[in-house]
Structure 1
Amino acid sequence: MTSMLAMHRFKLTGLLIMANTGLLLHLLAGEIKPVAGWDWLDIAGEGGSAILLLTWLGLLLKSRPAGYVTNLLFMGLACLFFSLFMDSVDEFVALPDAVTWDGWLESGPMPIGFILMTLGIFHWHQEQLAINEQMRNRERLFREHRQFDKLTPLGDANYLRTQLQLALGEAADKCQPVSLIMLDMDAFSRINREYGQAEGDRLLQVLTQLLLLNLRQHDLLCRLAGDRFVVILPHTGERQAQILAAELGDAVRSLAYKSSRHGERIELSASVVALMARDDATETLLQRLNIAMARAKQSLTVRYG
């Protein structure tokens, strides 16, 4: 819990500064009301709602990594919290009639918060639909084959070979192309060495979800070994496979992954290659793919070594 919240400490700090700034403005411009003038019903309703929103914020930040959807949900909840917090402060501080900005502080953030929350929930829903569709296929296959990786919800190397053989047979019968993508993380051993194996395992789990979100429903992602993944692309020619491979590489580079220990961003990149089957046997096709990856890794070493 602490490590996940630490990733969002700047968001929480910003919200704390905004809330205290609003409180300070009220104290400077007005006077504290006597206890007899407090409306306890409004205090309980507005203050209790603000506390609940703050609790929701904590649960959100505890359970989600940094990203676009998380930012939308956080900003929406933060606007709603700020609006209700200002309403609560107004119950304790009396402002002169000439002051009008308090109405903007109390009511202005509310509609903005609802809009941001709606956008965040919509994108969250789309995100879950994509993951659920991928996982539904894997749950069915898990019951049938039991050949899945222990760390990620993906098929292992043996399952990859079985499904690739089926895909090649189906492609030959229907005269349809089938392609493969191989993705291998760059300098993954350094992450294990500097941050520990637990961090490396966590990264592989996050990476799995990222790749699933960037694949089509009929694509099949498997973990070949270690930090190396293979995607089977039915009905896909080499040109389209190369486009999809480039998109996966861009997605990895754009991932704002934060370490669980100190919350610092870990820069990521991956070598990605794609090729189309050309009357290959399963092992021959995988061998071609491994050779293409070895050349890509060699080119990376020459460029940065």
Structure 2
Amino acid sequence: MKFLRLHALPMLGLALAANFGLQVYLATGQIKTWAEINWMDVAGEGGSAMLALAWLTMLLHSRPAGRVTRLLALGLACVFFSWWMDTLDEFIQLPELAIWDNWLETAPMPIGLVLLTFGIYHLNQEQRAISQQMSKREKLFREHRLFDKLTPLGAAEYLRQHVQRALTQAHEEQQPLSLVAVDLDDFSALNQRYGQAEGDAVLQAMAQLLLLNLRRQDLLCRLAGDRFVAVLPNTGESQALQIAVELQNAVASLAHKTDQHGERVHLSACTATVMAFDEDVEQLLKRLNLSLAKAKQQLPRCA
């Protein structure tokens, strides 16, 4: 019923056209005897007409209204009408002087094929546009999963992917690459004292603070929990150490106040730096974590 409501007009028009052709043939011609009918042609031409009608019905069922649908529907309607008139010709004998029947049988076919060609061309353009949009959405969805849910930073997997690209670029350009890790001190105690919501607020403030103290070409990610990693392209060991000190001092001077009581939370962080050598991502991050663990053991304020 819904199909009839949506597509009553084109289907009615096609039915009227088919009936018109039948009435014209009946009015001007004579029905053939059983022996005169070529049933092979009837099966071929009639079956083709029914297939074209089935394609048209499926098209109207499955596609929304629009230019592409109109072109394809009109093309299939012309193809159906041409085969339909060919089928009638197998049952009705027209006078030899009648030449208009050739136009009714032949002309709609090339017109229909041209319309179908235009329709298929625009359908291809439409599908390519849809595929592009779906590809963008899929990429956005994949990248969205790589970002940290709490801060506007990349998560651990995003960090690994970026470090892999940075290693390749550093190797190709023969430029140094360094990483800096920043780890908050006693973050678990802060969570226990002020609650997880306040701990989340501290991490968000930390993310903004560290971003403000990094250069434009640097990338900051949240590796896990209260640990952040900055990727520093074109940066040697001494410059990375200087940046690490600046980040450490920035954390110590952060004047974060709790939402509940407004008291200042005194924060401190331990940092570690490593310079990339001929190694893969996992080896580099493992060396960074070991360097950070060693720094936490050696310095009382990082213990």
Q: State whether structure 2 residue 214 is matched by structure 1 residue 205.
A: no
Return the alpha-carbon distance in structure 2 between the equivalents of residues 298 and 261 of structure 1.
34
Instruction: Label 1:191 to 1:152 Cα distance change in 2 as closer, same or farther (>3 A).
Output: same
- Give a deviation string over 1:130-161, Cα, whole Å, max 9, x none: xxxxxxxxxxx967722100000100000000
Partner of 1:145: 143
Return the alpha-carbon distance in structure 1 between the equivalents of residues 202 and 262 of structure 2.
13
Equivalent positions of 1:149-298 (< 5 A) are 149-298=148-297
Contact 1:245 1:273 in 2 (8 A): yes
TM-superposed deviation, 1:300: 3.2
- Give a deviation string over 1:25-81, Cα, whole Å, max 9, x none: xxxxxxxxxxxxxxxxxxxxxxxxxxxxxxxxxxxxxxxxxxxxxxxxxxxxxxxxx
Instruction: Label 1:234 to 1:142 Cα distance change in 2 as closer, same or farther (>3 A).
Output: farther
Return the alpha-carbon distance in structure 2 between the equivalents of residues 145 and 265 of structure 1.
36
Return the alpha-carbon distance in structure 2 between the equivalents of residues 184 and 270 of structure 1.
5
Q: Name the SS of the counterpart of 1:216 in structure 2.
A: coil
Q: Name the SS of the counterpart of 2:256 in structure 1.
A: coil
Return the alpha-carbon distance in structure 2 between the equivalents of residues 168 and 196 of structure 1.
39
The unaligned stretches of length 5 or more in structure 2 are 1-138
Q: 1:247 is matched by which residue type in structure 2?
A: E
Identity %: 56
Instruction: Label 1:270 to 1:217 Cα distance change in 2 as closer, same or farther (>3 A).
Output: same
Task: Answer with 1 or 2: which has the greater Rg.
Answer: 2
Root-mean-square deviation (CA, aligned residues, Å) is 1.6
Partner of 1:26: none
Q: 2:185 is matched by which residue type in structure 1?
A: D
TM norm structure 1: 0.52
Q: 1:177 is matched by which residue type in structure 2?
A: P
Partner of 2:100: none
Q: Name the SS of the counterpart of 1:275 in structure 2.
A: strand
Instruction: Label 1:217 to 1:144 Cα distance change in 2 as closer, same or farther (>3 A).
Output: farther
TM norm structure 2: 0.52
Return the alpha-carbon distance in structure 1 between the equivalents of residues 179 and 140 of structure 2.
22
Contact 1:142 1:148 in 2 (8 A): no
Return the alpha-carbon distance in structure 2 between the equivalents of residues 178 and 286 of structure 1.
13
Contact 1:256 1:265 in 2 (8 A): yes
